[in-house]
Amino acid sequence: MSGERPLNVVESLGAAVLGVVNDFGSYTKFTAWALWGILRPPYRLRLLIKQMYFVGNQSLSIVLITGAFTGMVFAVQSDFAFGKFGARGLIGSTVVLALTRELGPVLTSLMVNGRVGSAMAAELGTMRVTEQIDALESMAIDPIQYLAAPRIGATILMMPILCAAFDGVGALGVSWVATHVLQVNPGPFFDRMAWFVDPDDIWGGMLKSALFGFIVASVGCWRGYHAKGGAEGVGQATTKAVVAAGVAILVVDYFVTVIMAPLSVNRI
């Protein structure tokens, strides 16, 4: 690389590609080591529980609010659509299907990403720039296993619970708006909901959310772990973590949904 002249287009494109490949390699290595850290001793149950509490506590209120209002607004919007061909009885089933299969896992993990992923990146980043991670290593403790493994494990475990909470309040939100505000006949409303929504929809969504939880925590920890410089570096790591995990959730969601789709087609 030359320092004297400005980079031309090809060089900067090449540098960008190299950067992405490097990042991907570094992320994969970090995450594989962290997952291996979950499986092998020493098991630090106390840290895992502390992190589970942290993830749940940080996110529950915001997930509940998001869930309730998502359900409520979708009730209003689908009333607008279904009202046009007199199928308002389908509002409940449609919205709850959308919630459990898609909106629950995606919106929950995006909210958790904003709260928890950013906090993990900031915490590990601060530990990195203040040499606390070096201190762990100097005490013969594997810092990835100590810091990243419980965070990733806790987020994988907690995300489905938060997703289920989102689904639950979302369903309450749509039911209340439909039957009380929009005056939809409760009979067909709940009947169709029960008819169309399967436990598999709920389980499938929760499973997806566990995968997204893994993305949120692993990207947050990885970015924080490799933070450089002082406060600015920690800030950059945090921003990058939230953006990268957010985009990754949406991209991975598409592919996972495509893969999972045949499983649910057969049953109808």
Q: Count how many residues are written for the chain.
A: 268
* Binds other proteins by CB under 8 A, chosen from 141, 181, 247, 250: 141
Q: Least Å distance between CB 127 and other proteins?
A: 8
Q: Is 135 in the site for other proteins (CB under 8 A)?
A: yes
How far out from the chain centre does Cα 80 lie?
Answer: 30
Using the contact rule CB under 8 A, the part of the chain among 8-16, 71-79, 138-146, 185-193 near other proteins is 138-146
Q: Is 39 in the site for other proteins (CB under 8 A)?
A: no
Instruction: Read off the tokens for 104.
Output: 């629950």
Q: Is 232 in the site for other proteins (CB under 8 A)?
A: no
Q: Least Å distance between CB 133 and other proteins?
A: 9
Count Cα atoms within 13 angstroms, Cβ side, for 229. 8
* Binds other proteins by CB under 8 A, chosen from 140, 258, 259, 261: 140
Distance CA 254, CA 91 (A): 24
Q: How many residues bind other proteins (CB under 8 A)?
A: 13
Q: Least Å distance between CB 146 and other proteins?
A: 8
- With a CB cutoff of 8 Å and minimum separation 6, the contacts of 145 are 33, 34, 37, 40
Which residues inside 111-130 make contact with other proteins, applying CB under 8 A? 127, 130
Q: Determine the residue type at 96.
A: V
Distance CA 87, CA 95 (A): 13
Q: Is 191 in the site for other proteins (CB under 8 A)?
A: no
Q: Left if phi > 0, otherwise alpha if psi is -120 to 50, otherwise beta: which for 86?
A: left
| 137/191 with CB nearer other proteins | 137
Residues binding other proteins (CB under 8 A): 42, 127, 130-132, 134-135, 137-142
